[in-house]
């Protein structure tokens, strides 16, 4: 019959358990960073394109343009997403080497391109897709170097 009383973990066992959870926590933080970055960028672009460029007297036009920008729902949504991205990013940088986390963030380009195509109706020429795929190959190489555990 199994013993129902759990023995408390020693500090060494706790460290081992935490170190096993680090890759998972890092992966979750990076997914939040990538999705929030892509959605935030597209929301920002969509919101800003709704706000007219300032014209006339700069003393009146610029504050009005700032007010219109900050009261735009898509810009506000983008700011919220970018704050979430910042928190997840700070968390990711605590868990993994700087030289691994920074290039992995480039995977947001593919999601940004897809959202730009389908949400903003921006044309994405074939050569731009090729360039984005090259960037993704580079990101994958950096990811593999992280899996190999060189640090």
Partner 1 sequence: MLLFVIAMSIAISCSILGDFFVQQGATAAKSSTNTSFLGRFFNVFRHRKMLIAVGLLTCHFAGYTLAMRLAPVTVVVPLMSCTYIVNIFLARTVLHEQVTRLRWAGVAVIVFGVIVLGIWS
**145: contact with partner 1 by CB under 8 A:** yes
> What does the per-residue mask of binding to partner 1 show for 60-99, with x meaning CB under 8 A?
----------------------x---xx-xxx-xx--xxx
Contact 105, 37 (CB under 8 A): yes
**9: contact with partner 1 by CB under 8 A:** no
Contact 116, 122 (CB under 8 A): yes
**139: contact with partner 1 by CB under 8 A:** yes
Judged by CB under 8 A, the number of residues near partner 1 is: 52
21 vs 151, beta carbon nearer partner 1: 151
Q: Other C-beta atoms within 10 Å of 66: how many?
A: 12
Contact 30, 105 (CB under 8 A): yes
Question: Smallest distance, Å, CB 1 to partner 1?
Answer: 35
Residue 133 half-sphere exposure, CB side, CA atoms within 13 Å?
A: 7
1 vs 122, beta carbon nearer partner 1: 122
Question: How would DSSP label each residue in 56-70?
Answer: S-HHHHHHHHHHHHH
**109: contact with partner 1 by CB under 8 A:** yes
Query: Which run of H or E residues covers position 139?
Result: helix 126-147
Question: Smallest distance, Å, CB 2 to partner 1?
Answer: 30
1 vs 117, beta carbon nearer partner 1: 117
């Amino acid at each position: 019959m199994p013993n129902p009383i759990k023995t408390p973990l020693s500090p060494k066992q706790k460290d081992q358990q935490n170190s096993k959870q680090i890759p998972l926590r890092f992966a979750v933080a990076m997914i939040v960073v990538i999705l929030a970055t892509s959605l935030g960028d597209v929301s920002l672009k969509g919101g800003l394109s709704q706000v007219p460029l300032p014209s006339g007297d700069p003393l009146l036009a610029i504050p009005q343009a700032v007010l219109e920008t900050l009261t735009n729902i898509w810009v506000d949504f983008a700011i919220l997403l970018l704050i979430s991205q910042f928190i997840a990013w700070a968390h990711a940088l605590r868990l993994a080497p700087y030289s691994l986390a920074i290039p992995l963030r480039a995977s947001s380009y593919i999601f940004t391109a897809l959202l730009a195509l389908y949400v903003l109706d921006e044309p994405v020429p074939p050569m731009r897709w090729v360039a984005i795929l090259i960037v993704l190959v580079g990101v994958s190489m950096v990811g593999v170097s992280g899996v190999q555990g060189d640090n």
